[in-house]
Structure 1
Amino acid sequence: MLAAAEFTGPTSYSPWLTWLAILLPVLVVTWYAGVTWWSRSASRPRATRAERHRREHLARLDRVEAEVGGGDLSLREAHQEISEIVRSFAAAVGGVDTRAMNLEQLRSRGPAPVADLVALVYPPEFSPGSQGHPADRLGPALSEARAVVTGWAP
């Protein structure tokens, strides 16, 4: 038979192991909740950012039309502004930097709507009067620019 001195009482666990057993599942749940929230919020600003750019560029087109109507902007400058506004929008939303492309490059590598619009505004922009009066081309250029900005699907 074993003597009473050989028996030992029950051993207790260290308190940090208890805290670790509680903290570990909490960290795992927090990690999954954080990743879910982060990926959900990262996908929403794209649409919001595109809409913000769309509103901003449409307002710029309206401003160009108002400045031409008020006599503050020449027809040539208006066509240049229209080209710059649509190129800026395409660069901001479309992912292709069209701001430095010429018409040939736009036709080969750029988005087709932007190339078509730039082809429409090139004559009044660089050689006014060669293909009709610039005032006659301003209305179609503005409506085409609005159509490109409004109908762009990123």
Structure 2
Amino acid sequence: MPGGNGFFPPVAYSPLWAALAVVILLVLAAFYIVVPLLTRQARVEEPEVDVSWMPVDVPALRGKYEVLISEVEASHRLGELSVRAAHQRLSLLLRLFAYESSGIRAPHMTLAELREGRDTPLSDAVAKLYPGEFEAIERGSVLDAAEVARRMVYSWN
């Protein structure tokens, strides 16, 4: 009922509306917490591969990687690979060589992990390739990087 001046008094809302608002906020918060927990990927441990029993023909392996390193040089010379891509490919080749020749899981390791593992020829060679792989400005010599890769392959035990 309007007052003497034509205005209505404030309407009193039921406390159930405030309770409903709190419940909705709690449901939203639970949604943003529960859904990511339920949908995240399970960590899958990669099984360790014991390659100690596998015979490795190191001279043949060296020859294979010599050819692969030469292919990277040729691709760069033809303009198919940038300096950065060539350095990245050479680094991957070194890591794969170490894996194939001795079972070191180098393709999955960071430089710090390689240094911790005391695989000095590999970690030194990968460290020399890092500037060409990761610097903001592409620079470095692919020929020098390929020579570093070859030295590592031929000095590997």
Alignment TM-score, normalising by the size of structure 2: 0.61
Unaligned 5+ runs, structure 1: 1-44
Q: Secondary structure at the match of 2:81?
A: coil
Count of paired positions: 104
Q: CA deviation at 1:120?
A: 1.0
- State the AA in 2 paired with 1:126: F
Is 2:156 the counterpart of 1:149? no
Select the structure that is richer in helix: 1
Deviations 1:72-105, CA, capped at 9 Å, x for gaps: 1111110000000010000010221111100110
- State the AA in 1 paired with 2:151: A
State, as a whole percentage, how many aligned pairs show the same letter.
32
CA distance in 2, matches of 1:104, 1:120: 13
- State the AA in 2 paired with 1:87: R
What are the within-5 Å matches in structure 2 for residues 1-154 of structure 1? 46=55, 49-129=57-137, 134=139, 136-153=140-157
Residue pair 2:129, 2:145 contacting (<8 A) in 1 also: yes
CA distance in 2, matches of 1:79, 1:67: 12
- State the AA in 1 paired with 2:78: G
Q: CA deviation at 1:110?
A: 4.6
Q: Secondary structure at the match of 2:108?
A: coil
Relative to structure 1, the CA distance from residue 84 to residue 110 in structure 2 (aligned partners, 3 Å threshold; closer, same or farther) is farther
- State the AA in 1 paired with 2:62: R
Unaligned 5+ runs, structure 2: 1-53
RMSD: 1.7
- State the AA in 2 paired with 1:93: S
Q: CA deviation at 1:139?
A: 2.4
CA distance in 1, matches of 2:118, 2:88: 18
CA distance in 2, matches of 1:99, 1:112: 15
